[in-house]
């Protein structure tokens, strides 16, 4: 079930807060209140709200400043100004700052209903625009590979060049970087795009099974072979054969594979007559084949056969600027698949994801976003929703054997941002998604000191 539209009422008058709170509750909204701009920012640190109703004149932080900070941190949130007749000029200024509408005190319930109807209509339009943009992205994305960093642009260029040939390609990269996506992109843009793309994970097949899977067998060729079967070398039929984790292939199978690549002929298990085969080979590995050749565990002649052209897929830590794009992509996918309205990430959480080293690369990021979406209780993912990523890495045992809490992780994150910005409070607060006052409180509470 989709989450309710959330509303935050910010007003220093108790009677206004309570009356609006009860009205929104009766109408089926998820409502909350704050008695000041500072209190509102405190709540926004914990979650975002779809709509904010903000009193223009309040002690301390005024409504205009709250509008400005809200629009900066949460541009998708709609802000409605509550104002008296004497401050209409200020309300107009707030509209210029990005407020969606304003209400003049005193107002009637039907006026409130009209404002909400207008805002909800705009939200539906925005959702439709996001959907259409997503559909456009699907068509303009480089064959489902997501990223616009310089290293990825270089990879795209290499894929385009390589696709126009029929030479064997070796794709290198750590686990989870998307080597199969690269192989599929080469196939999709290549000369054999209208023929099959057949992927095989060499690391998941035992030696005997791999032989029968690749070469095929005839009926009665071995115990249990009640019918004959084509192998992948035949199934690929003019297409592209992708051998993932080729470094896992046994030395005996390396000999057989080399023979096929040289002769483009196979002999099924149980037969004696060779058959012609036609395919393009793309291989991939996370291992150092040069080192394996030196160690004698991978044949040098096979290495030269599969390594005519080499492509390297960069690890995610080397293209951290692509993390927001990937997060948005996975948010859209898993929000849709789980039927949950989770489509935002706080600036502090996004900064932490960008700074994370991602040993499992894109696959780890995808799993992290999926888990956070499934367990989230609000529309916005916060740093706490990704706490599981940092606990193992940042936690250390204390004197009583317990582990440091997520608060410690957050403390270290704040320290890292402060150091990165040279202790520029304004810049650090913006990155963390909090106000300057809140950041000062965090610094004091955690006894952080400028070096």
pTM of the model: 0.61
Contact 166, 210 (CB under 8 A): no
- pLDDT tens track of the chain, all 451 residues? 345 789 999 999 999 899 999 999 998 899 999 999 999 988 887 777 889 999 988 888 888 888 888 877 777 788 998 887 656 677 677 777 778 888 888 888 888 888 898 888 888 877 766 665 555 454 435 768 999 889 999 999 999 999 989 999 999 999 999 999 999 999 999 999 999 999 999 988 887 788 888 988 887 777 777 777 888 999 998 999 999 999 999 999 999 999 999 999 998 888 888 899 999 999 999 999 999 999 999 999 999 999 999 999 999 999 998 999 999 999 999 998 888 888 889 888 898 899 888 999 999 999 999 999 988 888 889 888 898 887 655 443 333 333 344 566 667 778 877 887 788 888 777 766 667 777 887 888 778 888 7
Which residue segments constitute the domains of the chain, with CATH numbers given?
6-138 (3.40.50.2300), 150-314 (3.40.50.300), 317-445 (1.10.8.60)
């Amino acid at each position: 079930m989709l989450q309710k539209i959330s509303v935050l009422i910010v007003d220093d008058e108790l009677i206004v807060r309570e009356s609006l709170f009860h009205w929104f509750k009766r109408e089926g909204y998820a409502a909350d209140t704050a008695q000041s701009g500072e209190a509102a920012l405190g709540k926004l640190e914990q979650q975002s709200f779809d709509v904010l109703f903000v009193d223009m004149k309040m002690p301390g932080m005024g409504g205009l400043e709250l509008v400005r900070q809200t629009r900066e941190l949460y541009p998708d949130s709609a802000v409605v100004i509550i104002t008296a007749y004497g401050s209409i000029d200020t309300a107009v200024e707030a509209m210029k700052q990005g407020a969606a509408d304003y209400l003049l005190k005193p107002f009637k319930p039907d006026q409130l209903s009209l404002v909400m109807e207008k805002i909800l209509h705009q939200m539906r339009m925005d959702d439709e625009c996001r959907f259409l943009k997503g559909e456009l992205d699907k068509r303009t994305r480089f064959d489902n590979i997501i990223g616009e960093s310089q290293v990825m642009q270089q990879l795209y260029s290499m894929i385009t060049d390589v696709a126009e040939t029929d030479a064997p390609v070796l794709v290198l990269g750590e686990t989870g970087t998307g080597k199969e996506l690269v192989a599929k992109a080469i196939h999709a843009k290549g000369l054999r795009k209208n023929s099959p793309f057949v992927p095989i994970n060499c690391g998941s097949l035992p030696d005997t099974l791999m032989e029968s899977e690749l070469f095929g067998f005839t009926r009665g060729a071995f115990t249990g072979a009640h019918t004959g079967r084509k192998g992948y070398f035949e199934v690929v039929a003019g297409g592209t054969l992708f051998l993932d984790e080729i470094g896992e292939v046994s030395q005996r199978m390396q000999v057989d594979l080399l023979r096929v690549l040289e002769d483009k002929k196979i002999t099924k298990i149980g037969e004696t007559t060779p058959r012609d085969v036609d395919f393009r080979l793309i291989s991939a590995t996370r291992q150092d084949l040069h080192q394996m050749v030196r160690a004698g565990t991978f044949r040098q002649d096979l290495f030269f056969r599969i390594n005519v052209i080499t492509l390297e897929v960069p690890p995610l830590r080397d293209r951290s600027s692509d993390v927001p794009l990937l997060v948005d992509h996975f948010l859209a996918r898993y929000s849709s698949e789980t039927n949950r309205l989770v489509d935002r990430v706080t600036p502090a959480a996004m900064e932490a994801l960008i700074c994370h080293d991602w040993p499992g690369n894109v696959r780890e990021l995808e799993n992290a976003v999926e888990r956070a979406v499934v367990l989230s209780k609000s529309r916005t993912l916060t740093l706490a929703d990704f706490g599981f990523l940092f606990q193992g890495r940042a936690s250390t045992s204390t004197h009583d054997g317990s582990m440091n809490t997520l608060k410690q992780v957050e403390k270290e994150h704040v320290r890292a941002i402060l150091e990165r910005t040279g202790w520029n409070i304004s810049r650090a607060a913006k990155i963390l998604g909090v106000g300057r006052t809140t950041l000062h409180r965090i610094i004091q509470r955690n006894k952080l000191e400028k070096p």
